[in-house]
Amino acid sequence: MIIDCHGHYTTASSKLQAFRDEQLQLFAAGKSTSVAQMSAISDDEIVDSIENNQLKLLKERGGDLTIFSPKASAMGQHQADIATSVRWAQACNDLIHRVCELFPENFAPGCQLPQEAGQPLTDAVTELRRCADMGFVGVNLNPDPSGGHWACKPLTDESWFPLYEALVELDVPAMIHVSGSCNECHHTTGAHYINADTSAFMQLIQGDLFARFPDLRFIIPHGGGAAPYHWGRYRGLAQMLGKPEPSEHVMKNVYFDTCVYHKPGIELLLSVVGVDNILFGSEMLGAVKGIDPDTGNYFDDTKKYLDQLPLSETDYHKLFEGNVRKVFPRLDNRLKAMNL
Ligand SMILES: [Zn+2]
């Protein structure tokens, strides 16, 4: 199988965004957002939005299944209060669940969480458990729910531990994924995402999180941000901080995806990080959706870059299927239940 660990429902019905707009207008007006209501979305609308977009591209590119989560830039944990974020997360996750029930062999669900900077993660844990009960296999954990202010403690701080305890208990890995940027100096997908990936990696070097949670697993998307390119810097910083090598200290529990959108980047990733810590991902559809004029191919058709490399069958199997089934045990169970 070819499994893409990173896809978002960027093509959902406009009714979802209309619901969000109503929430945010009520919030801005100082009114209760609980009166916001989402119009019913039919199965036909969902099928249309998927068949003509993500599923079409998945099949054209030779893929089989995507771990599918709500549109990340729209999670917007910083945009309103926690009660509003709870209802928004429920609406988005319920829609993801319906997609994955309609296309069980092509999509497996990942959820977003209601979070509020500086506040306990009680509602996030509740939503995680609700989604796990519905069969979700993964979760997007926002390391900066302030949307660019970085008003939270680092991921190694004990304030995050209740969520980690639930992740370990449920055997769900977390993709470290920010949402939109509230700072115009940091473009959402060009700077804020990559900054966050890099910051998360450095936080993990500075701390000792996996000694406390040896079974916790993170995916740092977008190729691990700047970490692979600056690997020597991070090894040297770990040394200066009296920490073990990142390969021992961090990479027993952390995986990077292949969303770097050019072949030299993929080659660097493989040579520095190694095949065992890389999961195939494309972040299709929407982060960078154009065609590269140099190759004539879509930037986010990341399978094409991998297909050009002189890798063994064993390594291809790890990248496209084996690693992701290991990191996402609930996905493995879901596929086995379908004899896949
Ligand atoms: Zn993403």
Q: How many CA atoms lie within 13 A of 221 on its CB side?
A: 29
Low-confidence ranges of the chain (pLDDT < 50): none
Task: Give CA–CA dist 129/167, Å, rounded.
Answer: 9
pLDDT, residue 286, reads: 85
Q: Which domain holds residue 25?
A: 3-337
Q: How far is the CA of 291 from the centre of ligand 1 (A)?
A: 19
pLDDT at 309: 97
Q: How far does the centroid of ligand 1 lie from the alpha carbon of residue 41, in Å?
A: 24
Output the pLDDT for position 107. 98
For residue 111, the tally of other CB atoms under 10 A from its CB is 26
Tally of structural domains, the chain: 1
CATH number where 8 lies: 3.20.20.140
Contact 111, 89 (CB under 8 A): yes
Ligand 1 centroid vs 6 CA: distance in angstroms? 6
pLDDT digits (tens, 9 = 90+) for 49-73: 999 999 999 999 999 999 999 999 9
pTM: 0.97
8 A C-beta contact, residue 294 and residue 270:
no
Helix 122-133 with 82-102: angle, nearest 10 deg: 20
**How close is the Cα of 177 to the center of ligand 1, in Å?**
7
Active site residues: 283
Å from CA of 239 to ligand 1 middle: 31
